Structure 1
């Protein structure tokens, strides 16, 4: 895969490197009471918790419902949430079976309400379809943490944690502009985009961010195709793109899971004249970066539900956050969308999910 000369480094995008702070926002929490001092003996010589909120408190029951793990990123969302709960002895996590059926997920939330859980973390199959039942939970006094796919009412969640889809496009487009500048590609640079499912707002947001960022350096998306977030569709549309366009300078693929098929199409066509940028931050994409087979990927954090578990624990225990002057848990958190390239891939590899 073509490599950059005079690499567009992290200066290209000031966002890069902030994700760790954003992802760990919930982790750096503290209770509203002073921390105990001089208790090293009570900890048997071990280091104190990062904050008093990390110390065990009253046990809280958290219900978690996510979609079926039929995609590498979704599988990582679910597993990260469960792994995060296991870190806390004061969390009793009840996990509903993953599903892509909104009616079944509604049934799961009804069960959580009937059981009287202390908080619910919910990545809805369909935000609009789950809004009513989430509102019922809130009205029952159960704080709901909405993850990734937003409800259609502000009353349906106490806190919403989102990835930044528009920001992904901005990061990809800004990085592409850096490549154009550093490699003297000029205004004639041929830029292609392999999107996900076009009907989804997240795809539309990613494409709009990419277009807007490219405009800053006078570039355009010359060729755009859309896949379906699957390996098979990625390979098919990438093959068609390569057959239609004889030479490309930069390709941005929205999703690293479908990127397996996209990469296969590149290899089958023996095409490597372009800079290949991915999206989401899979482990295999990061390994391709290490091997020089891919230029970069744009992170869409698979930690969103794990962060949701942490925030749900704080909400259920009536705790707040010390990283803000206003110490209550925020109503809305948008995680960063940094560029991962050869300069920082070692830092982000632990966050990579297996496709």
Structure 2
């Protein structure tokens, strides 16, 4: 289209391209390198902030958990060592650990547990004074969603995540085995028990007594008293037992504190040399007593290891890991160069009551019995009833009073002898009849010819 007359043709604005023309190629500026590195730096800083924030607030034991450790008493070296093991593990894991001492008082323990709950601890590790008395406190912690772990001693109720302890039943049995072998499988033994109601006292006692009943029936438990895991009480209780028991061959205590007190009492009475002492825990004083020959043996626990494992298991649980309900801690026996006591030969005395020695038949019977007794190394006491039932009854009574091991009778009369046989039965003396029988009483065996044949 032609421009109108009187108008002027204007040039396109600078930078525009007239229609139909190809725009010229422009030279592109190079990318600014400094700006690229700036964005990289920003990204790195952002990542670092996220990582640091995660490390600061993630649920881990490193400087983030606060735990409570409630101990039954710190007046016992065993629990002092347990506390130290827990404190070392807590410091290593960055855990704040609050330790409270119940002083062997269930009421104080309940107050301590309530305080830990009020402080909002993340977990509670408890060594109960009493397995029943601790239950309400554990239940309160459960209601507050605070996980509970028991150490060394268990609880009879409440929800407990894990129990960290030695196998006290096995430890009691090991103590029983050592003591039984040391006194030759027979004799009189005393048991000093721990605090009634504690799982440690219950389990150690069960292990010890089960072994003695099943494997060491020649031993008689002549006294069984509690000394509350306390050395001073062990001394006092054992002083009284020494006065009441003229013969004691061995003593087992549920912990070392009690056995050390018992040793002191026996030494003061001049009777320590006749008694084999066995303890439980292997605290430093007990190990020293073993080395000195005053204590025969002690069952070694690892209280420091219990404390360490308690903290580590609690941290794992709080970190969301699965933990076992029972965490066993190894036991071992600590003993010196202690030579087991060889059993002394038991003197066996047999009583032989004959109807008469005025008959060559019974003289020959006596001679055969005497020859057999000599060959067996046993003592034979022969009495002659002279065919008199009253004298026979007197003879049997004399044999019972002498404490013979066995009575062999050739009765003068089958009916008249019955009361004498029954007296021997009551005294726990086995009775055998020879040649002639009896009409009553308990007879182990009847040795005779077949007179019917």
The TM-score range, normalised by the shorter chain, is 0.5 to 0.7
The Cα shift of 1:104 comes to 4.4
Q: How many residues align?
A: 274
**In structure 2, what is the equivalent of residue 239 of structure 1?**
239
State how far apart, in whole Å, the 2-side matches of 1:96 and 1:230 are: 20
Structure 1 SS opposite 2:286:
helix
Work out whether 1:203 is the aligned partner of 2:208: no
The Cα shift of 1:246 comes to 4.0
What is the TM-score normalised by the length of structure 1? Answer: 0.66
Structure 2 SS opposite 1:200:
coil
State how far apart, in whole Å, the 2-side matches of 1:149 and 1:254 are: 13
The 3 A distance-change label for structure 1 pair 221 and 338 is: farther
State how far apart, in whole Å, the 2-side matches of 1:137 and 1:198 are: 24
- Counterpart mapping for 1:160-199 below 5 A: 160-180=163-183, 185=184, 189-197=186-194, 199=196
Root-mean-square deviation (Å) = 3.0
State how far apart, in whole Å, the 2-side matches of 1:284 and 1:295 are: 13
Structure 2 SS opposite 1:156:
coil
Larger radius of gyration: 2
State how far apart, in whole Å, the 2-side matches of 1:273 and 1:107 are: 46
From 140, 148, 154, the counterpart of 2:152: 148
**In structure 2, what is the equivalent of residue 66 of structure 1?**
71
**In structure 2, what is the equivalent of residue 96 of structure 1?**
100
The Cα shift of 1:221 comes to 3.1
User: Which structure exhibits the higher relative contact order, with contacts defined as CA atoms closer than 8 Å and separated by 6 or more residues?
Assistant: 1
State how far apart, in whole Å, the 2-side matches of 1:247 and 1:127 are: 35
Q: Residues 63 and 96 of structure 2 are in contact (CA less than 8 Å); yes or no, is this contact kept in structure 1?
A: no
**In structure 1, what is the equivalent of residue 257 of structure 2?**
257
The Cα shift of 1:139 comes to 4.4
Where does structure 1 lack aligned partners over 5 or more consecutive residues? 1-54, 320-327, 345-355
Structure 2 SS opposite 1:94:
strand
The 3 A distance-change label for structure 1 pair 290 and 95 is: same
Q: Residues 299 and 340 of structure 1 are in contact (CA less than 8 Å); yes or no, is this contact kept in structure 2?
A: yes
State how far apart, in whole Å, the 2-side matches of 1:248 and 1:258 are: 17
**In structure 1, what is the equivalent of residue 142 of structure 2?**
138
Per-residue deviation, residues 91-110 of structure 1 (Å, max 9, x unmatched): 12223354544454444444
Structure 2 SS opposite 1:65:
strand
State how far apart, in whole Å, the 2-side matches of 1:302 and 1:245 are: 35
Q: Residues 131 and 156 of structure 1 are in contact (CA less than 8 Å); yes or no, is this contact kept in structure 2?
A: no
**In structure 2, what is the equivalent of residue 316 of structure 1?**
318
Work out whether 1:285 is the aligned partner of 2:286: yes
What is the TM-score normalised by the length of structure 2? Answer: 0.53
State how far apart, in whole Å, the 2-side matches of 1:56 and 1:151 are: 26
Where does structure 2 lack aligned partners over 5 or more consecutive residues? 1-59, 339-453
Q: Residues 123 and 305 of structure 1 are in contact (CA less than 8 Å); yes or no, is this contact kept in structure 2?
A: no
More strand by share: 2
Q: Residues 58 and 317 of structure 1 are in contact (CA less than 8 Å); yes or no, is this contact kept in structure 2?
A: no
State how far apart, in whole Å, the 2-side matches of 1:286 and 1:56 are: 36
Q: Residues 259 and 278 of structure 2 are in contact (CA less than 8 Å); yes or no, is this contact kept in structure 1?
A: no
**In structure 2, what is the equivalent of residue 330 of structure 1?**
324
Q: Residues 60 and 317 of structure 1 are in contact (CA less than 8 Å); yes or no, is this contact kept in structure 2?
A: no
